[in-house]
Amino acid sequence: DAKTTQPTSMDCAEGRAANLPCNHSTISGNEYVYWYRQIHSQGPQYIIHGLKNNETNEMASLIITEDRKSSTLILPHATLRDTAVYYCIVSLDRGSTLGRLYFGRGTQLTVWP
Amino acid sequence: DTEVTQTPKHLVMGMTNKKSLKCEQHMGHRAMYWYKQKAKKPPELMFVYSYEKLSINESVPSRFSPECPNSSLLNLHLHALQPEDSALYLCASSQGSGLEAFFGQGTRLTVV
């Protein structure tokens, strides 16, 4: 699986957009980009995933560069409850991995009032 | 019901004890997983079950013994653990064909 590089920590003012970057320069053509987050002392929570196109759901937007070597997770209006560790994961074609997730170190996002 | 339920939430056990962690999901997911998470570290994959059969063991010591009695239940049997095995143990499930996994809240295990 391709490796990812994320900043160790970021902060964001409440109500502002939080933009979390992820580098995955060795990603291959059939690897997806997944984002999870983990609020302190809870289990990880799925946020969003994508292959080539930008994606949006009720939680966030995922912007993937045209060369697919990096992506950005956008929380459009961050709240205090969004304070968490955010993990960017790239993995093989969905059908072949049995849902295996290999977590990197992630980014600690702190939203301040 | 989109929950993965883990019991107990907290467990303290001695190094000679035998205990079991339990995980349950009723989403009809075909794949279930155990992860281990040490403090301030990311979760690490331990085991993957697919259709109630063990399909992946990430070189986990034999003092951890998984069991999948049916499609909704996953157990992790613990025996002769060491203090360094103290961690948060997370269970997850997914349809199996993708990586959108649902995680439980975990069992915080302390080995004394």
Q: Give the pLDDT score at A44.
A: 95
Q: Residue-wise over B30-55: b if at least 16 C-beta within 10 A, else e?
A: bbbbbbbbeeeebbbbbbbbbeeeee
CA distance B103 to chain A (A): 5
Which chain B residues have a beta carbon less than 8 Å from that of A34? 99-100
C-beta atoms of B101 and A99 within 8 A: yes
- Hey, what are B17's tokens? 């004890």
Which residues 6+ apart lie within 8 Å of A67 measured at CB?
none
SS3 A95: helix
Q: For chain A, which ranges sit under pLDDT 70?
A: 1-2, 92-99
Say if the Cβ atoms of A106 and B43 lie within 8 Å.
no
Could you tell me which residues are beta bridge partners of residue A89?
Answer: A34
Residues B15-36 pLDDT 10s: 999 999 999 999 999 899 999 9
Q: Low-confidence residues of chain B, pLDDT below 50?
A: none
3-state class of A81 per DSSP?
A: helix
Structural tokens at position A43? 């289990």
A105 chain-B contacts, CB cut-off 8 A: 42
Copy the structure tokens of residue B59. 């070189």
Residue A95: predicted pLDDT? 54
CA distance B34 to B71: 15
